[in-house]
Amino acid sequence: MSILLVKSCFGVSLSDLYPYGANEGDTFLQPNDDESSGEVEISVRFPYFDRYHDSLYVNTNGVVSFLVAVRQFTPHPFPLGDGRRLISPFWGDVDTTNGGSVSYRESTDTLLLQKATADVQRAFIDQHKFTATWIFIATWERVAFYGATRSSQQRKVNTFQAVLVTNGRHSFAIFNYNKIMWTTGTASGGNSDGLGGTPAQGGFNAGDGVRFYVIEGSRTNDILNLASTSNVARPGQWIFRTDEAGVEAGGCNTKGSLTISPRSGIMLGGTNVKMSGPCFKQNDNIVVQFDGSVNINATFGSELQTTVTVPVLNKTGRLAVKLSIDGGNSFEHNGVFTSVAINRYKPGVQRVNSDSWEVNSSVDISWDSGSVGDLNDQVSIELVRYQKGEDDVVLHSFRKAAETSNTGRSQFVITTGQEDGEIEDRSINLVRVSRKETASNVSQSQWVWSDLFAWNNAPLARERCRKWYMNEPNPGKFKVTWVQINNVATIPLAT
C-alpha cells in the first residue's frame, strides 16, 4: 500500500499520544548517545514477520529491535541481511545528552487496549473482530540530534512514538508523530540545523535481506513530513500490520487495490460490504460495479471506507469488483467478491416447523435481528419466487406477507395466491426479510433469505405430476413402478 499524503501544520497532539512518562510507570533510558535499553523481556510472544519474539530492545536512535540491539546512528537502506529485525519509526542519530528522553513500558490497561483496538479496526476494515490484548509503548520525547550543542540547535527536537499491538496472533505497529524538526545528526553528514547528509529512515526490516517496508520519504529530506502526512487520514499517524510474511499498510492507498469485508455473500444479494481503497471525501459520488455490469451507489463511511449493499447476482464464484469516486466515470480501484450459491450459504431466515408450511395456514419464521439493524427498525417480510433460467436466475412475484418490528420473529398466514403459482410454473420459493430504512447500511445485511422450498399443496402437486406424466413418451415402452412421495402424489419411475 502506498501512503496517503494528508498535509497539515500539526501532527498527533500530545494529548492524543498514548500516555507515557514517569506518571505512567515508564522505564527511562539514561541520557546517552547511540545506546540501548538492553534486552527487555515481554509478557507475550509478539508476532513479527512470521516469527514470535518474547523480548525486544528499545534503541536511542529511533528503533525497536528484536534479537540484537541497534547502536548504528546512520541508517542503511532496507533491506538489511544481517539478522537485524527492526521496527523503525525514525531511525536517525538521536543524542539525548543534548536533550530529550526515551521511555517505554508494556501495558494491558483496559482503556489503552480499547484505544488500540479502535485504531486497528479503523485502519483495517477486515479486522473488525480484532481485539487487542497487549501493547508496548516506546516514546521519544523532544529528542535532539547528535551535534546539537548550542541552545538554538537543541530547540529543534522530535517527538514520536512506536506502539506495538497484538492479540497473540495478529500484530500491528502504530507510529505517532507529534513533531519532526530535524532529520540528520552531524556525524551522518547533517548540517548545524539537523538537515542534509543521510536523513532518518522509517519502516520495517525482517533481517533476511529480502523482506522489508520503507515509509515513503525515508533517507530524504521529506522525512520531515511524517507529522503532516499519514496512511490512515490522521496527520502524524501511521498504522501497519506486521505479523505476516510482508508488512501491510493500513488505511487508504493509491495503488488501485480494494480491501473488501466480508469477501463473500449469498448470490441473492443483501450483504452490506465495507470497502477501502482510495481516500474518500464526504462529497464523493461513490459507485461500485459488480461483474462488469451492475453499478450500485455506495455510502460514505469515513475517509477510509465506504459501504455498499450487494445486489442480486446472477452468477456464483469470484466476481470482479470495481470502485469509482467520480460517479462511475472512471473505475480505478479493483477487487474480488465471491458470490455463493444458495444451497451453500446458511439461511438468514429460518422457517419454523418448515414441514407443516401449507397454504391458508399460519407459519412462523425467525432471524437474527442484529443482522438487519436495530430492534426499533421496521422490517418487511416477503414471499418471493425463484426461477432458474438458462443463463441466470429470476426473482419474481414479490408478495408482502407482513410488516413488523425487527424482533427476530414473526408469524403470518399464507393466503391463496401466495403459493407457488400456476401449474405450468417451474419456480420454487423463498422468504425475504428486509430492513425498511435504507439511509444507513450499518448492519450486516440489508436483507436476508430463507432456504428454497416448495409449498405443501397436494392438489397442485397431483395435477403437475399428471400433466408431466401425460407429456412423457408412450409409457408402454417402459416398465413402470409407481412410488408415493410424502403422502402427496404418486409418480411413475421408468426402470
pLDDT digits (tens, 9 = 90+) for 84-98: 999 999 999 999 999
User: Distance (Å, rounded) from C-alpha 65 to C-alpha 70?
Assistant: 7
Topology (CATH level 3) of domain 346-449: Immunoglobulin-like (2.60.40)
Taking residue 26's Cβ as centre, other Cβ atoms within 10 Å add up to 18
For the chain, report the end-to-end CA distance as a whole number of angstroms: 63
User: Distance (Å, rounded) from C-alpha 449 to C-alpha 344?
Assistant: 13
Compute φ and ψ for 96, nearest 5 degrees: -80, -5
pLDDT tens per residue, range 281-338? 999 999 999 999 889 999 998 899 999 999 998 789 999 999 999 999 999 999 999 9
DSSP 269: -
User: Distance (Å, rounded) from C-alpha 278 to C-alpha 77?
Assistant: 29
**H or E segment to which residue 323 belongs:** strand 317-324
Grid cell of 121 as nine digits: 479496526
**CATH number 2.60.40.10 is the correct assignment for the domain at 259-343:** yes
The mean of the pLDDT values for the chain is: 87
Q: CA quadruple 3, 9, 13, 16: dihedral positive or negative? A: negative
Residue span(s) of the chain under CATH 2.60.40.10 come to 259-343
Comparison of pLDDT for 47 and 3, the residue scoring more: 47
- On the question of pLDDT at 241 being above 90, the answer is yes
∠ CA(156), CA(25), CA(84), 5° rounding? 65
291-to-108, 320, 334 alpha-carbon distances in Å: 45, 5, 11
Q: What is the mean pLDDT of residues 459-477?
A: 57
- Among residues 205, 145, 152, the alpha carbon closest in space to that of 180 is found at 145
173-187, 201-215, 381-395, range with the lowest pLDDT: 381-395
Q: What is the mean pLDDT of residues 99-106?
A: 98
146-to-112, 152, 266 alpha-carbon distances in Å: 33, 14, 60
